[in-house]
A and B are shown apart, each in its own frame.
Chain A
Amino acid sequence: MSCVFYYRVKGVIFKVYSLGELKATGKYKIFSVQADGSLKSRLNSLFISEGKTLVVLYAKNGKAIISAGGVVIGLSRSVARRINVCAVE
């Protein structure tokens, strides 16, 4: 799992990964969504926006299956790599 960049929140440094590069399943907090226009609105309507938590149920080859707002969602590689997250304890 390669680290994309680091993010500092109140003195704590988080490792931030793009969802598309995650191989581990678990709970993650969304830091940024690098999408615009209709894609961003579509993601927002599925509770995939900054500050929200999502659960990565499965990730392989850049594709990811997540659970957000109670819905299980499949994201293609091009979408998954635009969502930056960090692990939530």
Chain B
Amino acid sequence: MRGRINLNDKKSFNNEKFVLAKNVSENVYICGAANSGKTTLFNGLTGASERTGNWYGVTTDVKAGVLRLKNALVQIYDLPGSYFDDYTLEGKRTLNKIKNARGVIIVLCEAANLQQGLKLYKKAREYSAGKAALVINMYSELKKRGGSINLAELKKTIGNGVIIAEVNEKAGVLAVKKLVTELLFSNESDKNNKTDKLDKSGESNEETLLLDEGELLNRVLKPPKSELYGIDKRMFASPISSSIILIAAFFVGAYIAFGEFGLGKALCFLTEKTICYIVEYPTRYLLIKFGASEFLTAFICDGVIKSVCSLITFLPPLLILQIFIFYAEQSGILARVAFLFDELFSRVGLSGRVIFTFLTGYGCTAAAAFCAEGLENERTKNRAVLSLPFIPCSAKTPVFLFLLSISGGKNAFWLFCAFYVFGLLFSIIFAWVNKKIKKEKPLDLIIEFPPLRIPKIKTLAKALQKFVKSFIIKIGTVVFTVTMSFWLLGTITPEFKLAENLNESILSFLGKSLSFVFVPIGITDWRFSLAAFSGLFAKESAVSILIACGSGEISFLSVFSYLIFYALYSPCFAALSAIKKVSGLKYAVHVFIFQNLVALFGAYSIYFIGSHLKICLFLLPIAVLIAVFAFYAMNIKTKKTTKIKKRTLNLNFNAKNKKV
């Protein structure tokens, strides 16, 4: 039997999600340093498909799953990567779990990083009263780099609880299962194992626990050549050209996915035609042939197929984008990018590590909020969380593509890219303003560089399968419910009679009460305000609402201003809930109110500038002058305050000295 339970916070440890845990007989805890392959092993053991990546902080919370071993249910815990410290959130979570461990602790370590693995293994044995195993992963990589491990010698010293296994392969997972079975159930194997030297009270084996990793390492490990790869050296030696290459790579990827002659657009067209000819037309034909009512035909064909299924046409470009994000995550290049841009981000009160959060934010804001938990401290985490809603998530992509394809013309692709680039720029500017308000020292960045790897096609296929599954589930649940509710409301009048046309319906009544929001940007059509409202449940639903209800003609400037609003306004409820979990209710409410105000201001300003271009061009130099003056005034004020503070400190110090 295989199963999975997610634990995002402390509360989950006691809630009903843990009912399964009462029926299990044993526990297994997978822990180790970051990027050692813990989640890969967890997925292999439990059949789960948790997110994996080649960068620090992929797993920030404890995950649990169930595995059947010898007719007994064993609960498997995937702990965040840490060094069993209590100064990082991940470290605290791991330590909290393994200090009260009742079962086997598996310490996973990268073969090249055996020294650290031994150190953690030593601690794990203390916590688990000897029931610990050391699994050495990625041995083939060590061999390629010219290193090796003498396993027999290692076993002589620390016992049989150590194996070499490639956990991303079936054989490796089986080897770990066998080892866990032996440690949990077999008494015979204990006789050979040095762990039997531990007495029942849990007293540790002095000889083993006092082992010196350095001395042992000299005996068992032939170290690899630890040097930077050629690409790294070039990257760090010329940061400007590296940044240009990275930005160019972003545009190439974006063009392939969303460009006019890109692969994504071609696949988009093919999917649209496939749905049209294979699903919509035959269904309509069959419904009419079998005498289905007009209402039912309209509900299935116009409501379900045309609006909800039309979102599937946006899947191919999103998949292409996912492939690029996947390669960036798995190759190990992200840690380098984080180090490269640390200087820039530390100036705005963030750290280079925020790259991981922002990149995840391009996929899903909720997932990115959880990813922010891996950041250095509380203040940076909250600042990153507040900056996140400026990054357009992939759910907004269909809306951009849909509206820009209608009114964007030839510039649609560049306008689309502008939303992504300006999203990142706005988040950086916001963090900078936030830092200016709350003064603080630059952050200390210590980042581990995982070896550069070419991701496996099998892993890519699994990741894409997971993405498609979650996309279809979202469309089939949230988007479907929202669209269908709106569609049904569009067929009933406020007197609960069948509406003859949309303008008589409850939906129109609701829409008209919200339409005042977009009047300043030249949109009087109530369907746009409803579409924006539906985006609070799921961002994609705006497209299905606009298709289901239809939309009138509006000018390019109005569409553009509307998209500015859509790009900036509050994230969906799922993301707000994630923000609440990570930073608290105060921050979630702050994000909701602040983002909506910013979005309105942005949209109104763009529309005003666009419609009064001549006056704005005339006023622009004056605005720039005022901004420059304000900036200098702020700096002078800050310098003066620092001087006064220093003087006060000196005076206090002198006064103290006099007293002494």
Residues of chain B within 8 A of A70, CB atoms compared: 112-116, 223-224, 226
Residue interface bits A27-43, CB-to-B below 8 A is 1, else 0: 00000000001110111
| Docked-complex contact A45 and B85, CB < 8 angstroms | yes
Q: Which of A37, A67, A76 contacts B342 (CB 8 A)?
A: A76
CA distance A60 to B233 in the complex (A): 11
Given A58-B233, A69-B113, A79-B445; A74-B87 close (CB under 8 Å): no
Residues of chain A within 8 A of B449, CB atoms compared: 65, 71-74
Determine whether B601 belongs to the interface, using a CB cutoff of 8 Å to chain A: no
Residues of chain B within 8 A of A2, CB atoms compared: none
CA distance A70 to B227 in the complex (A): 10
Determine whether A87 belongs to the interface, using a CB cutoff of 8 Å to chain B: no
| Docked-complex contact B448 and A69, CB < 8 angstroms | no
Closest residue of chain A to B445 (Cβ to Cβ) is: A76
Taking chain B's interface residues, is the majority helix, strand, or loop, or is none over half, making it mixed? mixed
Closest residue of chain B to A55 (Cβ to Cβ) is: B226
CA distance A71 to B117 in the complex (A): 11
Residue interface bits B413-449, CB-to-A below 8 A is 1, else 0: 0000000000000000000000000000111111111
CA distance A47 to B113 in the complex (A): 11
Within B233-261, the residues touching A (CB, 8 Å) are 233, 236-237
Given A41-B85, A41-B87, A42-B85; A57-B442 close (CB under 8 Å): no
CA distance A86 to B441 in the complex (A): 28
Residues of chain A within 8 A of B441, CB atoms compared: 78
| Docked-complex contact B83 and A45, CB < 8 angstroms | yes
How many pairs, one residue from A and one from B, have CB atoms within 8 Å of each other in the complex?
89
**B598 to nearest A CB, angstroms?**
31
| Docked-complex contact B446 and A47, CB < 8 angstroms | no
Residues of chain A within 8 A of B486, CB atoms compared: none
| Docked-complex contact B223 and A73, CB < 8 angstroms | no
CA distance A58 to B445 in the complex (A): 16
CA distance A57 to B442 in the complex (A): 24
Determine whether B228 belongs to the interface, using a CB cutoff of 8 Å to chain A: yes
Determine whether B534 belongs to the interface, using a CB cutoff of 8 Å to chain A: no
CA distance A53 to B5 in the complex (A): 43
Within B75-101, the residues touching A (CB, 8 Å) are 83, 85, 87-88
Determine whether B346 belongs to the interface, using a CB cutoff of 8 Å to chain A: yes
**B120 to nearest A CB, angstroms?**
9
CA distance A78 to B236 in the complex (A): 17
Interface positions of A (Cβ within 8 A of B): 37-39, 41-43, 45-47, 55, 57-58, 60, 63, 65, 67, 69-76, 78-79
Given A38-B87, A67-B226, A76-B346, output 16 extra A-B contacts at Cβ < 8 Å. Answer: A39-B444, A57-B227, A57-B228, A65-B236, A70-B113, A71-B33, A71-B448, A71-B449, A72-B226, A73-B446, A74-B446, A75-B446, A76-B352, A76-B443, A78-B444, A78-B445
| 21 contacts across the A-B interface (CB closer than 8 A) | A43-B446, A46-B83, A46-B446, A57-B227, A58-B232, A60-B236, A63-B343, A65-B232, A65-B236, A69-B113, A70-B112, A70-B224, A70-B226, A71-B113, A71-B116, A74-B335, A75-B446, A76-B346, A76-B446, A78-B444, A78-B445
10 closest A-B pairs by CB: A38-B87, A76-B445, A45-B83, A74-B339, A67-B226, A72-B449, A74-B447, A69-B115, A79-B444, A70-B113
Interface positions of B (Cβ within 8 A of A): 33, 83, 85, 87-88, 112-116, 223-224, 226-228, 232-233, 236-237, 335-336, 339, 342-343, 346, 352, 441-449
